[in-house]
Structure 1
Amino acid sequence: MFKSVLILTASLMALAVAPALAEEPASAGPLDLTRRIVATSGAAGEDSAGYVRIRNGSPVADELVDASCACADTIEFHRVVRTESGGSMIDDPSWTVPGNGALDVRPGASLHFMLINFDPSKAVDGRVALTLTFRDAGTVQADFALTGDSRAAWAAFD
């Protein structure tokens, strides 16, 4: 019985992570976007968090200035500020991608995209298309895999 439960649990985890593993490359100039995921319960109308790693192959910093998709009313750049008395959420106007560096917008860290009024029915093959706009590199459309477990999906790339 215990072995059956372990096998079932492992299978369900694989299903939750599998869409993120089959990632196609997405680039905007010197910027490469990987680990593109959206965490969702699958219910329409909820806000959902999005995550991505953006690597900059240029020595010059760039700035992520906008994000949009047909799958949500709007996308905000959220930063969680933790204090001894709790925490708060700040809506940042943009995020900097350092020159010859990376911006990790990852589960459990302070940054995430917030897809307001997310509609998972807009997904095709477990993915939604987001359009990211950078100050210098321009605009790129990239598919983000839907997952019920963002931390497991992020870790699956390692």
Structure 2
Amino acid sequence: MNPVARVDGVTWTDPTCPVARTLDLVGDRWSLLIVRDAMDGARSFTDFQQRTGVARNILTDRLRRLVERGLLKRETAISGRRQVYVLTDAGRDLFTVIVALRQWGERNTFADGEARSVLVGESGRPLARLSPTDSHGDHVDIDSTTVLRDD
């Protein structure tokens, strides 16, 4: 494995690994929190800053990178006076990742009875626990999967 490779103008830590490529794009705390907040309706620079508490210079950098990497796009607000950020299809496709992180956090980072936010569907009910399945719908886990590499 080449520890760092440049492909299509992007520096990939591990060019053949989808997990590494994803982390190269959104693997820092602020990027994922920005994506989370965009999924929850944040659109403006001020929205993101108020929700995350991130410093302006870091927020500017992360928004720029998320736009460059195709996860957000800039649009003119309805008022025509400012730019807003909107998730692209690739950004929206991170929904399952955000839900998986949320569910892991619910199980592993809170004490019993500790206050927390809850993600609910249109019905008002919490989402079912995500569980990976193979292409036939059979549940899989770490003991029943293998990574095949193109070498």
Structure index of larger Rg: 2
Which has more helix, going by share of residues?
2
TM over 0.5: no
Smaller-chain TM-score bracket? under 0.3
Please give the TM-score of this superposition, normalised by the length of structure 2. Answer: 0.24
Please give the TM-score of this superposition, normalised by the length of structure 1. Answer: 0.23
